Amino acid sequence: MPGSAERGRPARVVVLVSGSGTNLQALLDAQGTVLESGGRPQGFEVVAVGADRDGIAGLERARRSGVPTFVCRVGEHPSRGEWDRTLTEAVAAHQPDLVVSAGFMKIVGKEFLARFGGRFINTHPALLPSFPGANAVRDALAYGVRVTGCTVHFVDDGVDTGPIIAQGVVEVREEDRADQGAALHERIKEVERVLLVDVVGRLARHGYRIEGRKVMIP
Ligand code: GAR
């Protein structure tokens, strides 16, 4: 993807959510106001927010910011493939340069990856390749790690296996080891929000290329 200068406009970003949407909020807060030049200080603009369910804080955050939303529920489609097709079309309608999975708890399908592969990023609450999947914080605690964190990566056809863009480190405290990981997850999310904004901003402003497993941001 080219950077801001070549593109001549902010990168269009569609964010997918399933829950509280605090990472989405960080992106909404960071995108900043429109400059006189028509640009945005961070080089990106959240143009739509999609979800796989209704009634979540993430959608409310988008609406409060005046960002268009859409909901695409698996259960309302005859098959997972049909759902994937509808989701792909719903996202494509907003012509994104980047798509961000920010707590979106669904695995997308072939059609979605064919359309958005190489410009679809995910934020994950563990230091990949350790602890992929939906219960990363709990799994890391159960394993007994002393250090964990978060990973922002491109999405490929595996579960949390795509090229890594950036990682943030969080120490596990003694008191974390006695609970199910809620406090630790909150500390990870503090780091994650800053990391995600930094990554989306850098990708948008500088552009990037992916060489094998390496992501190069000039
Ligand atoms: C984040 O920690 C994100 O990494 C995680 O859900 C949280 C969403 O928080 N995603 C996954 O676990 C995906 N496997 P938020 O809704 O407050 O942004």
What is the spatial distance between Cα 16 and Cα 31, in angstroms, rounded to a whole number? 16
Instruction: Point out the residues of the chain with pLDDT beneath 50.
Output: none
Which two structure tokens, joined as six digits, stand for 181? Answer: 């990981």
Distance (Å, rounded) from C-alpha 215 to C-alpha 206? 12
State the distance from the centre of ligand 1 to the C-alpha of 5, rounded, in angstroms: 31
The confidence score (pLDDT) of residue 159 equals 97
Gap between the Cα atoms of 93 and 70, Å rounded = 11
Q: Is there an atom of ligand 1 within 6 Å of 123 CB?
A: yes
Give, in order, the Cα–Cα distances in Å from 164 to each of 36, 55, 127, 212.
Answer: 35, 32, 10, 11
Under a CB-based contact definition with an 8 Å cutoff, are residues 143 and 131 in contact?
yes
Supply the residue whose CA is at minimum distance from atom 10 of ligand 1. 103
At 178 the pLDDT is 84
| Interhelix angle 22-30/57-64, nearest 10 degrees | 20
Let me know the angle formed at the C-alpha of 57 by 52 and 63, rounded to the nearest 5 degrees. Answer: 90
**CB of 106 sitting under 6 A from ligand 1:** no
Whether 23 lines ligand 1, by a CB cut-off of 6 Å, is yes
Q: What pLDDT does 147 receive?
A: 98
Task: Report the chain's terminal Cα–Cα distance, integer Å.
Answer: 11
Residue nearest to atom 14 of ligand 1 (CA): 134
Q: Rounded to an integer, what is the distance from CA 7 to the centroid of its chain? A: 22
**What's the pLDDT tens digit per position in 101-134?**
999 999 999 999 999 999 999 999 999 999 999 9
For ligand 1, whether the C-beta of 201 sits within 6 Å is: no
Q: Which atom of ligand 1 is nearest to the CA of 102?
A: 18
Instruction: Give the pLDDT of residue 37.
Output: 73
Which of 189, 190, 199 should be mutated for ligand 1, with most atoms under 8 A from CB? 189
Residue nearest atom 17 in ligand 1 by C-alpha distance: 22
Residue closest to 1 by CA, chosen among 96, 141, 102: 96
User: Considering only CA atoms, which residue is closest to atom 7 of ligand 1?
Assistant: 103
pLDDT score at 36: 72
